Amino acid sequence: MNKATEAFDQGKLVAMPTETVYGLAAPIDRPELLKKIFTLKERPFFDPLIVHVKDADQAKTLVNNWPELASRLVKAFWPGPLTLVFEKNPKVISDMITSGLTTVAIRCPKHELALNLITDLGVPVAAPSANKFGKTSPTTIDHVKSEFSEKDVYFLDGGSCEVGIESTILSIESNKVTVLRRGLISEDDIKPYLKSGEVIEYHNSHEVIAPGQVKHHYMPKIPLLFFRVKPTSELIKLEAQKLSLMPASTGKKIDLSNDAKIAARTLYSSMRDLSETGSDFLYCYIPKEKDKDPNWLGIIDRLQKASKIEVTEPAQS
């Protein structure tokens, strides 16, 4: 932990394990390190960062307004994979962190090393996922090491991430909760904490509400085809040709567990590993019926954004 906090003084960022994915962290009061997050990630400055805190009390020091509904959600889900968007306190949260927005996204990660780092430092850290912009998020320290070098980043190894996909992001306005990014915590998980008159809605991110909610994201090194109907060999071949892949090109299937929690945990590792096997493309199949199961929606969202094509119709013969 000492080494990690010292790394900041040497001008490095810290690869910080969290329960969702690894983050690339810098203290919120170090503008030169915050800037380095964007340059190392090759991330556009219009994409705001999530601030990670040790607890709700620390979060309250960063915002101008703390709705009572936030207290209920935080009590139920922090530490954990839930990010909340608040009106920011501009004295402590710079425009570098929020890309000029008047709001700030905050979460309290459920990982001992992350919590120790923030506690020892005494300052919250801003951290996006520790991958190059638009690419697959890392769920092990080796994933981070494959994209960043030791001269820029101190690698804090906290094992494999338990959740495996990024946190659920919610914004709160008076009586309405808006889901900006789906994750392990679903709309159904939130509902029991809402009072009568309060509603929760999913905002389809294709309409772009927040910077960073871009369509192509989480992309593996080779093209990914996302099948919502059974991928027969005929259909796979047909769709691969649409991507101008050669008729003889080979695809590797990302096999997912039937258990959504396990599927989320292994998704990004499988995407990375199978990208390295010399195949020309990847494909994955999640039947359309799974859209009705809230536990699968975060996973389906990531595959839609990571894929070149989503195939919803069987082959016409």
Which chain residues interact with Mg ion by CB under 5 A? 129
**Sheet with strand 176-181: strands edge to edge:** 153-155, 13-16, 23-27, 125-126, 50-52, 103-107, 82-87, 168-173, 176-181, 199-202
Look up residue 288 and give its DSSP letter. G
Radius of gyration of the chain (CA): 20
> Pick from 74, 80, 52, 101: which is nearest to 177 by CA?
74
Q: How far is the CB of 106 from ligand TXA (least distance, A)?
A: 9
**Interacting partner of 20 out of ligand TXA, Mg ion, none (Cβ under 5 to 8 A depending on kind):** ligand TXA
**Interacting partner of 298 out of ligand TXA, Mg ion, none (Cβ under 5 to 8 A depending on kind):** none
Q: Which two tokens stand for residue 80?
A: 């954990």
Q: How far is the CB of 27 from Mg ion (least distance, A)?
A: 19
- Would you say 108 and 16 are in contact if contact means Cβ atoms under 8 Å apart? no
**Helix, strand, or coil here: 280?**
coil
CB closest to ligand TXA, residue no: 212
| Residue 219 bridge partners (DSSP) | 135
CB closest to Mg ion, residue no: 129
Q: How far is the CB of 227 from ligand TXA (least distance, A)?
A: 26
**Interacting partner of 104 out of Mg ion, ligand TXA, none (Cβ under 5 to 8 A depending on kind):** ligand TXA
**Interacting partner of 136 out of ligand TXA, Mg ion, none (Cβ under 5 to 8 A depending on kind):** none
- Would you say 151 and 76 are in contact if contact means Cβ atoms under 8 Å apart? no
**Interacting partner of 48 out of Mg ion, ligand TXA, none (Cβ under 5 to 8 A depending on kind):** ligand TXA
Binding site for ligand TXA (CB under 6 A): 18, 20-21, 23, 47-50, 81, 83, 85, 98, 101, 103-105, 109, 127-129, 166-167, 169, 180, 210, 212-213
Judged by CB, which is closer to ligand TXA: 169, or 300? 169
> Pick from 141, 143, 72: which is nearest to 111 by CA?
141
Q: How far is the CB of 152 from ligand TXA (least distance, A)?
A: 17
Q: How far is the CB of 210 from ligand TXA (least distance, A)?
A: 3
Judged by CB, which is closer to ligand TXA: 203, or 253? 203
Q: How far is the CB of 83 from Mg ion (least distance, A)?
A: 12
Residues 6+ apart with CB under 8 A from 36: 11, 13, 26, 152
